[in-house]
C-alpha cells in the first residue's frame, strides 16, 4: 500500500484470489491447450520451453500455495474522479 501511495495513488481495496480460481479458471484451461499450442508451433524448442516454464509454475503453485498467494490492489490515481 505504501508503494502505491508513494507513486501518487490512493489505495481503495485489496483481495487475495482464492486457490480454486487459479486452478479452475487459469491453470487447468492453460494445461488443456498445451498440446494444441505445441502443434501450432510445430513442437519447436521455443514452444516446448514455454510449456515447460508453465508446467514448472503450475507445479510450484500446487505444492506451495499454502505458503503464498496472489494479491490484487485497487487504487485511484490522486486527483482523478
Query: What are 17-51's pLDDT values in tens digits?
Result: 999 999 999 999 999 999 999 999 999 999 999 99
Q: Which of 29, 24, 27 has the alpha carbon at shortest distance from 58?
A: 27
Query: What are 56-70's pLDDT values in tens digits?
Result: 999 999 999 999 888
Q: Average pLDDT for residues 51-57, to the nearest whole number?
A: 98
Identify the residue with better confidence: 43 or 81.
43
Question: At residue 80, does pLDDT exceed 90?
Answer: no
Confidence band for 53, pLDDT divided at 50, 70 and 90: very high
Amino acid at each position: 500500500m505504501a508503494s502505491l501511495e508513494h507513486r501518487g495513488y490512493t489505495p481503495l481495496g485489496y483481495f487475495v484470489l482464492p486457490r480454486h480460481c487459479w486452478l479452475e479458471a487459469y491453470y487447468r484451461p492453460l494445461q488443456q491447450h498445451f498440446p494444441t499450442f505445441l502443434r501450432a508451433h510445430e513442437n519447436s524448442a521455443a514452444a516446448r520451453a514455454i510449456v515447460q516454464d508453465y508446467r514448472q509454475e503450475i507445479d510450484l503453485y500446487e505444492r506451495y500455495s499454502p505458503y503464498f498467494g496472489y494479491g490484487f490492489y485497487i487504487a485511484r490515481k490522486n486527483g482523478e474522479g
